[in-house]
Amino acid sequence: MATVLIADDDADHLELMSLALERIGHTVVRVLDAESARAVLKDGGIDAALLDVRMPGESGIDLCRRLREQPATAFLPIMVISADVNDQRIRMAMTAGADDYLEKPFRRGELCARLDSLLRRRPGVSRPPAAALPSVRKTAATQRLTVT
């Protein structure tokens, strides 16, 4: 299974997420703020991160953006979790590089399923950014795909 970092300043949410993930075999590292999350991530060994939007100091969205800027964490699967589900907040998280956005309150099964989906998509080696992937064109007349 995976080692998952959870950064959330709400002790109840931290406990609920931890229990759900530990029950299905994941190892959980708990932190209360972005600064502590960065310290844990610096040491490596984390397979995915769950970040609450509202934490003291730096927000989960800002932390996500900073993690994407660092080579060591640029391709880390990141799920942002928040009770704040307005469209602008979700867009901000996704623009910052989040792979998923989960609304609080959430169902344990949904949390586990979404995390497992992120982990399945994660290659053993860092995947290239989308800009580095070949472009694909579909020719209307032939219905053939051309990779360039």
Q: Is the pLDDT of residue 121 over 60?
A: yes
Task: Please compute the mean of the pLDDT values over residues 33-52 and round it to a whole number.
Answer: 95
Q: Over 60: is that where the pLDDT of 138 sits? A: no
**Of 27-31, 89-93, 99-103, 119-123, minimum mean pLDDT range:** 119-123
Burial of 121 (0-12, 13-18, 19+ CB in 10 A): exposed
Distances 61 to 37, 78, 94, 123, 137 between C-alpha atoms, Å: 13, 10, 9, 23, 33
pLDDT in tens, 107-116: 999 999 999 9
CA distance 75 to 88: 23
Does the pLDDT value for residue 61 go beyond 60? yes
